[in-house]
Amino acid sequence: MMGSHFIAVSRLRAALTILFLGSTIAAGVPDITHARKELLTADEKGLLHRAETIHLETLALSSHGPLDAGSITKVVSTRFEQLGYRIVTDNDRPHEVTVKVKCEELKTWEGTGRSGGDADMMDAAARLWKGPACQLSYRFGTRWADWRHEVRTSFTNPQEAAQKAGQADAGMYAIAKLIDQLQIDHFPFLLAAEWGQSSRLVQTLDATGTTLPQKQMVIGLLGDMLAVDAIPRLTAALNDSDQAVAQAATTALGTIGHEDGIPALLALFKTGTPDQHRAAAVGLGRLAPLHPNSDIVPTFITVLPNEPLQTQIILVRALGKTTDRRVLPPLRTLHRSVLKQARSDSSAETKELLASLGIALDGFDGVHTEE
């Protein structure tokens, strides 16, 4: 009995010691998910923001050795030039940034990066991918950036894919398919965003040849960049004929969080189609907690009782994130109504609305109803 008690006490002490050491170590280790950006000095950020001339290095490798990389150079150059960059292939010519593109029949894994991981950036290098891939990276001055981007084929085994296509040389076939991917990949947009060049991305939205998926990508990047200078163009995109593009613009305006995005979103919320109305609600929902003196909260309170369930969920979540206690009476009233409705309606939307109301009310005083 005493032995069991001693073992239990020892285990408890060991667990507490590990917990203490873990919390101490965690407190002394910076959040590396944001470290990559923080490592840049103001001068380095300024250099990247002003970058116009890119020195391009390309390399094509098959399992039998190097291949001619001329086609890769041509495709990548064209993609960058479409964003207004100048391309040089001679390192001795003036340039601000060097971009390296290494395309391989079978990817060579070079180990983990100094920061981040597979999920740190969109389409970052995947450790489990062993098939054909192009690795994109860049350096400025003598320093390589932590940024990495990987372009992959749809197949993992180039030998099998080449045989099915009736091609004898698997290496040539894999590189050709990678070149096809480079022609449509979004790497130029990602690099422009990485360098903080929102003006180039805005110009892309009106450029001939920009596809709808690319527009959605660019708009999302502008939102993530908090590009205030892009608000006028994003406002115009709210009325885009493609609903996916317009919806991306509403989300981006909400993500940017600037008050200049409020008037257009409110107008769309009040007069737009049902789809536009709901999309505008999402954008305004992100802005509401940031701008408590705007007309967002009063507008949401007014329309809340008569909105469809899905829109009510959006509005309730937004109102719950504010500190405006004017939202409490309408939220409590709706909560009582939904509770009664839930007795005969067990749909997923009703349950989701009820849960959202509970979370919203808990955020104020933890009291769901007045009963």
Sole residue written with tokens 């749809």 = 154
Q: Give residue 370's pLDDT.
A: 44
Chosen domain end from 138, 167, 192: 192
Cα–Cα distance between 150 and 177 in angstroms, integer?
A: 14
185 and 237 both lie in a single domain: no
Among residues 192, 220, 250, the one where a domain terminates is 192
Task: Evaluate whether residue 5 is within a structural domain.
Answer: no
Q: Contact at 8 Å (CB) between 134 and 127?
A: no
Helix (H) or strand (E) holding 214, with range, is helix 212-224
pLDDT band at 119 (very low <50, low <70, confident <90, very high): very low
Q: Is there a single domain that holds both residue 88 and residue 168?
A: yes
pTM of this structure: 0.81
CATH of residue 272:
1.25.10.10
Q: Answer whether residue 186 shows pLDDT above 90.
A: yes
Q: In this structure, is residue 185 part of a structural domain?
A: yes
Judged against a pLDDT cut of 60, whether residue 118 lies above it is answered with no
Q: Residue 33: inside a domain, yes or no?
A: no
Rounded Cα gap, residues 4 and 282, in angstroms: 57
CATH number of residue 173's parent domain: 3.30.160
Q: What is the Cα–Cα distance from 318 to 284, expressed in whole angstroms?
A: 8
Whether 207 is in a domain gets the answer: yes
Q: Which of 132, 159, 192 is the last residue of a domain?
A: 192
* 218-236 average pLDDT score: 97
pLDDT (average), residues 302-331: 94
Of the listed ranges 20-29, 52-61, 133-142, 196-205, the least confidently predicted one is 20-29
Tokens of 166: 């009736």
What pLDDT, on the 0 to 100 scale, is given for residue 17? 47
Is 80 part of a structural domain of the chain?
Answer: yes
- C-alpha span between 137 and 177 (Å, rounded): 20
Mean pLDDT of the 111-116 span: 54
What's the DSSP call for residue 88? Answer: E
pLDDT at 16: 44
Asked if residue 20 belongs to a domain, the reply is no
Q: Looking at the structure, tell me whether residues 217 and 297 fall in a common domain.
A: yes
Q: What is the mean pLDDT of residues 60-65?
A: 95
pLDDT-derived band of residue 29, with 50, 70 and 90 as boundaries? Answer: very low
pLDDT score of 164 more than 60:
yes
- In DSSP terms, 133 is beta-bridged to 104, 152
Q: Could you tell me if 214 and 120 lie in one domain? A: no
Q: What is the pLDDT of residue 345?
A: 82
Q: Count of domains in the chain?
A: 2
Does residue 23 have a pLDDT over 90? no
Domain that holds residue 294: 198-362
Q: How much of the chain exceeds pLDDT 70, in percent? A: 83
Residues 250 and 313 in one domain: yes
Percent composition of the chain: helix, strand, coil (DSSP 3-state, to 5) = 55, 10, 35
Can you tell me which residue has the tokens 């067990």?
346
Shared domain for 285 and 245, answered yes or no, is yes
Q: What is the mean pLDDT of the chain?
A: 87
In this structure, the answer to whether residues 181 and 264 fall within a common structural domain is: no
Q: How far apart are CA 357 and CA 370, in angstroms?
A: 14
